[in-house]
Amino acid sequence: MMKPPGKNPRSYPPFWEKFIPFFLVVITLVVFGLVALALAVIMGVFPGS
Amino acid sequence: MGLINTVLPFTSSLISLIFAGIVLARYSQRRGTHLLLWGIGMIFYGIGGFCEGYYGTWGWNPLVFRLWYLFGAMLVAAWLGQGTIYLLFKKRWANVLMAVLVLASVYGTIRIIGAQLDPDLMTSSLHTGSEMSGHAIISPGVRTLTPFFNIYGTLALVGGAAYSVYIFWRKKVLLHRTIGNVLIAVGALLPAFGGTFSRMGIPGALYISELLGAVILFLGFLRAVTPLGNGEEDTEPGV
């Protein structure tokens, strides 16, 4: 029997279904923050390593 | 502070080098430029940790400092990130970025070799002097290079891992790779936070974060290459 188009029968366990979107948002914010910090170091606003 | 400045970085170095050996062994079997570059990147991580442990045990040495700054502070994130670039991008673009990275690395190496150093400056501002710090570099324009490498490395390695998480999650496939990339993203970020906390004067932050980073990166890689045993076949290219 053919599967209906657009239906994905797979799913992750509930914990990962909830955690991953939250993780992606946080990691995006953190990466942008670190890049901003590095740019601040380049411009001399913040001390570098 | 003695144990923090010796045992932690030496342990971090050991874990990094073991990890590098496993990745390079996998490269010898499967090929894949990403594996070669990750292996090289983890060797750099190991060199950085060894130099930190050397400093904590035997004190200042200008050669050791230059090796630490070159491999541990400047190049490691960018070379690890370049591995991810090869995994996710078309080979032609990855080769272009590789050429740029090699040229930039050669330039950075020349600048660090020729840089004037003053170890007393490592106790400037909030640094205690018990950890290594780029403040020892007097020559202008050398430390300014490092954030460029680190921006590139962070975007490539952490961004690449997060992108992989997103793709696998959206397709609802290969949960082990999703979890592995979550760990890789977290592990790659920890040393960056450690460096920031170190600049704020929190003792031991850098070395603790580097050790945790190495451990979590390693666990992430092992998780990503080991299916969960739920019957799902790992047919996706990559790690």
pLDDT score of B127: 47
What is the CATH classification number for the domain harbouring B125?
1.20.1070
Decide if A44 is inside a domain.
no
pLDDT score of A6: 45
**Confidence check: pLDDT of B38 > 60:** yes
Decide if A23 is inside a domain.
yes
Decide if B239 is inside a domain.
no
Q: Which residues pair with B117 in a beta bridge?
A: B137
pLDDT in tens, B137-170: 999 999 999 999 999 999 999 999 999 999 999 9
Rank B1-15, B63-77, B221-235 by mean pLDDT and report only the highest.
B63-77
Question: How many separate domains does chain A show?
Answer: 1
Nearest alpha-carbon partner for B104 in B84, B77, B85, B86:
B77
Decide if B20 is inside a domain.
yes
Q: pLDDT tier at A10 (50, 70, 90 boundaries)? A: confident
pLDDT in tens, A14-32: 999 999 999 999 999 999 9
**Confidence check: pLDDT of A3 > 50:** no
CA distance B50 to B68: 8
Decide if A26 is inside a domain.
yes
Residues 6+ apart with CB under 8 A from B168: B174, B175, B177, B178, B181
**Confidence check: pLDDT of B1 > 60:** no
Give chain A's mean pLDDT: 79
Give chain B's mean pLDDT: 90
Question: How many separate domains does chain B show?
Answer: 1
| Chain B residue numbers touching A11 (CB-CB < 8 A) | 172
Token pair for residue B82? 């370049």
**Confidence check: pLDDT of B10 > 60:** yes
pLDDT in tens, B63-110: 999 999 999 999 999 999 999 999 999 999 999 999 999 999 999 999
Q: Which of A16, A23, A35 sits opposite B151 (nearest CB)?
A: A35
Q: Which residues pair with B137 in a beta bridge?
A: B117
pLDDT score of B129: 52
Could you write out the DSSP letters of every residue in B11-26?
Answer: HHHHHHHHHHHHHHHH
| Chain A residue numbers touching B121 (CB-CB < 8 A) | none
Decide if B231 is inside a domain.
no
| Percentage of chain B lying above the pLDDT 90 cut | 77
Task: Decide which of B205 and B89 is more confident.
Answer: B89
Decide if B26 is inside a domain.
yes
Decide if B235 is inside a domain.
no
Which domain does A27 fall in, by range? 15-39
Cα–Cα distances in Å, from B56 out to B4, B132, B165, B205?
A: 9, 9, 38, 15
Decide if A1 is inside a domain.
no
CA distance B5 to B206: 10
Decide if A9 is inside a domain.
no
pLDDT score of B109: 97
CA distance B105 to B102: 5
pLDDT score of B205: 85
Q: Do A48 and B148 lie within an 8 Å CB cutoff?
A: no
Backbone phi, psi, residue B227, to 5° = -60, 155
Q: Which of A13, A38, A49 sits opposite B133 (nearest CB)?
A: A49
pLDDT score of A9: 55
Decide if B234 is inside a domain.
no
Decide if A21 is inside a domain.
yes
Which domain does B77 fall in, by range? 2-224
| A residues 1..49 contacting B (CB < 8 A) | 8, 10-13, 16, 20-21, 23-24, 27-28, 30-31, 34-35, 37-39, 41-42, 46-49
ipTM of the complex, rounded to two decimals: 0.81
Decide if A6 is inside a domain.
no
